[in-house]
Amino acid sequence: MTNPRVAVFGAGAFGVWTALELVRRGAVVTLVDPWGPGNARASSGGRTRVIRATYGSHVVYTRMAVRALKRWREYDTQWKAGLLRQTGALWLLGADTSFGDASAKTLRDEGISLDEVGLPDAERRFPQIAFEGISRVLFEPDAGYLFASRACAHVADRVVVEGGSYRQAAAASPVAIDGRGVGLADGSSLDADCFVFTCGPWLGTLFPDIVGSLVTPTRQEVYYFGVPAGDMRFASPALPVWLDCGEQFTYGMPADDGHGFKFADDTPGAVIDPTSDERMPTTEGVERASRYLAGRFPALRGAPLVGSEVCQYESTPDSHFLIDRHPREQRVWIAGGGSGHGFKMGPAIGEILAALVLGESTPDPRFTLERFKTPPTGGWAPKWS
């Protein structure tokens, strides 16, 4: 079909990039979201996200991240939007170095830089970090961070500039499709030749019989701490993105833009309703974060909390993405399950989904619904790292 009409529901990272790619390939695209691209309830909301290619032995994600980074870089240069900052990423490994070992091998095999930094050298280069409990340090020079909500809004604008349209509306939940197209929450319908649902943590309720609990939204708190006045030790280039794979997986971003020093804990929180739950941080969470900072970044002991975000992961049982055709509705595609690592992949996901929708490829079995039919012996092993 030339110039098919495609409705993309959900203007988070997965949806905006899919819509842009489809527009560029000649489709007539309508991008739909109830609250706007990268809104405060979306998993793509908030200020920033890490982009890195280190994925243990999961070469499929390493390649996807490399592809996505190339596209982020190209588009950002072309748009002059300042969505990407390549600060590099500092990996702090604890007693268990298996993730670092596997990542180093994968990156080496793929010809991507990942530098081993000796501990004495790391202490010299990063005196603002206390390296207690750290056995090895790796530096990934091409990594960095992306502006999240702002990028979604920018890419959605590009969709419109390049000929697509944007509509503030919601698909009725659960999704109902008839001869008039997809039912909307206001009682009207939206018709198209194909429908793409990139609704992140809402996919389970939109498709209860197909997705259901296979995409589970969990509450994730993100904190911003104030750094001492005029102190550049916590901004890039003195401090890159850092990821601490010690007892718990925690990470943060340099305080580059006046919003403070970002800190987050990757441990999945309680299940959240992304539509109705409040977005206030918990006292315990803030205290835990302060304690961590005092240990790892001693000059930030007692630093005031200057901002916070409560977001959600939308995780699958194995933390792998979900990208598949609806098993009964040939015109419907479903993509999500970013599982705490989907944002960076936006441009690559857009290319994958556009090729599927336009009939140029078939779903990768690693990402299909079919894989959930036969859980591995011993159960799912969440988090690929």
Ligand X SMILES: Cc1cc2nc3c(=O)[nH]c(=O)nc-3n(C[C@H](O)[C@H](O)[C@H](O)COP(=O)(O)OP(=O)(O)OC[C@H]3O[C@@H](n4cnc5c(N)ncnc54)[C@H](O)[C@@H]3O)c2cc1C
Q: Which residues would be at the binding site for ligand X (CB under 6 A)?
A: 9-15, 32-35, 39, 42-44, 49-50, 170-171, 173, 198-202, 206, 220, 222, 264, 311-313, 336, 338, 340-344
Nearest-approach distance from CB 65 to ligand X, in angstroms: 8
Nearest-approach distance from CB 99 to ligand X, in angstroms: 16
Q: What is the DSSP letter of 171?
A: B
Handedness of CA 231, 235, 237, 240 (dihedral sign): positive
Q: Are 6 and 193 in contact (CB under 8 A)?
A: yes
The nearer residue to ligand X, 11 or 93, going by C-beta atoms, is 11
For residues 26-64, one letter each, b for 16 or more C-beta atoms within 10 angstroms of the residue's C-beta and e for the rest, the string is ebbbbbbbbebbbbebbbbbbbbbbbbbbbbbbeebbbb
The nearer residue to ligand X, 71 or 232, going by C-beta atoms, is 71
Q: Are 138 and 116 in contact (CB under 8 A)?
A: yes
Nearest-approach distance from CB 229 to ligand X, in angstroms: 28
The nearer residue to ligand X, 100 or 346, going by C-beta atoms, is 346
The nearer residue to ligand X, 43 or 290, going by C-beta atoms, is 43
Handedness of CA 352, 359, 6, 207 (dihedral sign): negative
Nearest-approach distance from CB 314 to ligand X, in angstroms: 6
The nearer residue to ligand X, 135 or 372, going by C-beta atoms, is 372
The token pair that represents 108 in the structure block: 């080496």
The nearer residue to ligand X, 71 or 299, going by C-beta atoms, is 71
Residue with tokens 């994730």: 220
The token pair that represents 362 in the structure block: 């078939």
For 365, residues 6+ apart whose C-beta sits below 8 A from its C-beta are: 371
- Which helix (H) or strand (E) is 137 found in, with range? strand 136-140
**42 SS3 class:** coil
Total residue count of the chain as it appears in this document: 385
Nearest-approach distance from CB 348 to ligand X, in angstroms: 11
The nearer residue to ligand X, 126 or 321, going by C-beta atoms, is 321
Strands across the sheet containing 305-315:
115-117, 136-140, 89-93, 241-245, 249-253, 261-265, 216-225, 305-315
The nearer residue to ligand X, 35 or 384, going by C-beta atoms, is 35
Nearest-approach distance from CB 64 to ligand X, in angstroms: 10
Nearest-approach distance from CB 342 to ligand X, in angstroms: 3
Nearest-approach distance from CB 45 to ligand X, in angstroms: 7
Q: Are 122 and 93 in contact (CB under 8 A)?
A: no
